[in-house]
Structure 1
Amino acid sequence: MEKGSVLFFLFLGLVIQAQEKPIIQQQEIVRIETELASDKMQGRAIFTMGIDSASAFIENEFKKINLSYFKDLKNYRQEFVVKRKPANNIIGILLGKSRPEEFVIFSAHYDHLGVVKSGEDKVYNGANDDASGTTAIIALAKYFKELNQNERTIIFVAFTGEEVGGFGSKFFSENIDSNKVVAMFNIEMIGTESKWGKNSAYITGFEKSDFGETLQKNLKGSNFNFNPDPYPSEQLFYRSDNARLAALGVPAHTISTSKMDSEPNYHQLSDEVSTLDLDNMTEIVKSIAISSQTIINGQDTPTRIK
């Protein structure tokens, strides 16, 4: 074979490899987000038919991706009791290739506020809070499954009960060995632009570990920026599902874009898909995937939280 032909086939192989690399598609972000925040989910309040519908949808997405079950579970539901009523998280895993006993968690809460009895608009759709985060973990699960390069085990978990006291993350944290959890990417309200505009987000508790610095390093040279939480007085680090594992020393942080000093749709009936920037949200999910790579492949291990 002539040298030119060899070079051509090498080039062709590189092109095919590049084409085969998975991508996070905006149309998938739109599809998942639109379903989770639809009126038929009835606001996803805990203990309702609406949240049962949301759970079934997320479970089906995990099944399509072909995630494995968590620990000794027989399906994707981690069931428990809250105030004598049944509730469940949804969990799927990708087993690590060389470090299966080291865990990286991607999480979000799928519950919201439910409905009101009167008015033209009765549904708290929770498109940003937190259908956006739940959409992200489903998209990331699909991406990392197709990429098939995770040395550490990745756990994808959708928590219930965040809006009424963090019951889902509490139960989860009590039923996992926190010493095995290397990092937790909790994703909360990423559907709107941050205070810095597009292609940016912030990390709560930035100063409590070098988790944020690792993510910044992995995004160096891109047009995306992760910043420290600009709303320290809001105590956001302690107000989402990362807090339970952070209290056990895990570098567990929340990634968000929500302008907590001026977010007009926060906990309002107006928190609907039409208010989101789904193009920017897609770029945020892509950047989370890129920023996590060295943690997932075992190259970086964030410092523990004291």
Structure 2
Amino acid sequence: MKQLLLLLVLINMVPAVFGQGQLAKVTISGATVERVEKTLAADAMRGRALTTNAAEAARFLAAEFKRLGLKPWPGQSSFGQTFLVYETRTVRVRAVLNKVPVAPENVLLLAGQPQLRWTSGQPNAPRVVRVGPAVDFLQEVRPLLEAKENLLILLDPAHAVRFRAQALRFNQNGRFGIDQPSPTAVVMVLLPAALPEALTFQVEGTTRIRELEAQNVVGVLPGQDKARAAEQILFSAHYDHLGIQPAVAGDSIANGANDDASGTTAVVALAEFFARQKNNVRTLVFIAFTGEEIGSLGAQHFARQLPDAKQVVADFNLEMIGRTAGSGPGTAFITGFEKSDFGTILQRNLRGTPFRFEPDPYPSLNLFYQADNATLARLGIPAHTISSAQLPTDQLYHSVDDEVQTLDLANMCAIIEAVARSAGSLISGQDTPTRILTDTAPTR
């Protein structure tokens, strides 16, 4: 604790440059960080899932943005950016191949229509696709899942592990999207053995489809220089989490204190700091995304509202900064470090301070593609996630034990202050990160 207190003192001794050469001491309110974090991660928020209490969290965040004097997103009268989410869940599915019933656990139905009944040889019969043992499962199957046609996919037994992982994911969580479901269906069958080319089939299924209202929370701090105010710097995090989970020792609420109440708290704390400065040349946009845990849906919707993605200079996406990084206190990492010079600029702006940003230490996890930043990066925006998570060893990740008492709030404040300081030359218009090549940011 003494080391962390010394770290915060040293960071605050180093001035940062904002606006037109003005000096500003970077001080993030520890009281704000603690209050916002505890509110978002409280049991009363019921895990902030779209189907539990995300709306209450959104109201709280909107009140914070109003308190800070931020403006709504252009064209909106409130801080809430509301949109529809479509949830589809399989109620039942039954498949018979060559007059032999298929075990239920070997059939997966992904449908955008309430009912289906297919019989081989009939006019409405689907196209049959066979996936052999030697092909790459993800490369072959992923495009098929996005197809807007009826498909019956027959998988060789060699793909059993991948199939069961997909089936578990979809059957437990359902499917969510911001586009109205296509009135088509994909049925995937894991074959018990190789089938002859001659094939008869009967498939029946029922799907429940419902609409949910979702809401990003977006606040804007207009740029002070009219000539540069159209240029935007984003600070983002997702406020949703997993809601109610199977009980462990009597606790069923996935509070998500680190994932990602910590990042959302940082967005509020940064908004508070920059709103006090009143000297940002470029416009600052503070975003609390919803729907990250079910496919970055909030980020997708926000991206569609951008009138010109080229005006977005950068996105600081804050994800899981509540615990100490594997490299120790006073450090955090940046995903996709090599994809733009965003990280290099931030490192340069922290020279002379005891804090340091490092490249992502877990490249095999492809973290750049696993967070909301990836949606914006696909538009060419230098959108990177800043995190201190130790994902390979974090036993609290996506558990009901991700609670406030497991966080290091002093180190979290140090990370937020480092973000504020390192953003200085971008906010003042002195630096502009290189764009991300859009073909290097595949779908999540």
- Alignment partner of 2:364 out of 203, 211, 233: 233
Alignment of 1:287-302 (within 5 A): 287-302=418-433
What is aligned with 2:391?
260
TM superposition score normalised by structure 2: 0.64
CA distance in 1, matches of 2:324, 2:65: 28
Alignment of 1:107-256 (within 5 A): 107-116=236-245, 118-119=247-248, 120-176=250-306, 177-256=308-387
1:61 matched to 2:188: no
Q: 1:85 is aligned with what amino acid?
A: L
What is aligned with 1:10?
none
CA distance in 1, matches of 2:372, 2:337: 16
Q: State the Cα deviation string for residues 152-172 of structure 1 (Å, max 9, x = none).
A: 000000000000011000010
Q: 8 Å contact 1:186–1:253 — kept in the other structure?
A: yes
Percent of aligned pairs with the same amino acid: 49
Determine which structure has the larger strand proportion and give its number: 2
Q: 8 Å contact 1:202–1:256 — kept in the other structure?
A: yes
Alignment gaps of 5+ in structure 2 = 1-21, 87-210, 438-444
Cα deviation for residue 47 of structure 1 reads: 3.1
What is aligned with 2:440?
none
- Alignment partner of 2:44 out of 40, 45, 52: 40
CA distance in 1, matches of 2:54, 2:379: 29
- Alignment partner of 2:218 out of 77, 87, 91: 91
CA distance in 2, matches of 1:77, 1:246: 23
Alignment gaps of 5+ in structure 1 = 1-17
Q: State the Cα deviation string for residues 255-291 of structure 1 (Å, max 9, x = none).
A: 0000111111100111000000000000000000000
CA distance in 2, matches of 1:132, 1:239: 17
Aligned structure 1 segments of 4 or more residues deviating by more than 4 angstroms: none
Q: 1:181 is aligned with what amino acid?
A: V
- Alignment partner of 2:231 out of 97, 102, 108: 102
What is aligned with 2:414?
283
Whose radius of gyration is greater, 1 or 2?
Answer: 2
CA distance in 1, matches of 2:246, 2:431: 50
CA distance in 2, matches of 1:25, 1:187: 17
Q: Identify the range of structure 1 (22-31 vs 57-66) with the bigger mean alpha-carbon deviation.
A: 22-31
Cα root mean square deviation, aligned:
1.5
Q: 2:43 is aligned with what amino acid?
A: D
Determine which structure has the larger helix proportion and give its number: 1
Q: 8 Å contact 1:65–1:145 — kept in the other structure?
A: yes
Q: 8 Å contact 1:195–1:257 — kept in the other structure?
A: yes
Count of residue correspondences: 288
Q: 8 Å contact 2:245–2:400 — kept in the other structure?
A: no
Query: Using a 3 Å threshold, how does the CA distance of structure 1 residues 259 and 97 change in structure 2: closer, same or farther?
Result: same
Query: Using a 3 Å threshold, how does the CA distance of structure 1 residues 262 and 166 change in structure 2: closer, same or farther?
Result: same
Query: Using a 3 Å threshold, how does the CA distance of structure 1 residues 174 and 21 change in structure 2: closer, same or farther?
Result: same
Q: State the Cα deviation string for residues 102-136 of structure 1 (Å, max 9, x = none).
A: 00000000000001364511110000000000000
What is aligned with 1:24?
28
Q: 8 Å contact 2:26–2:420 — kept in the other structure?
A: no
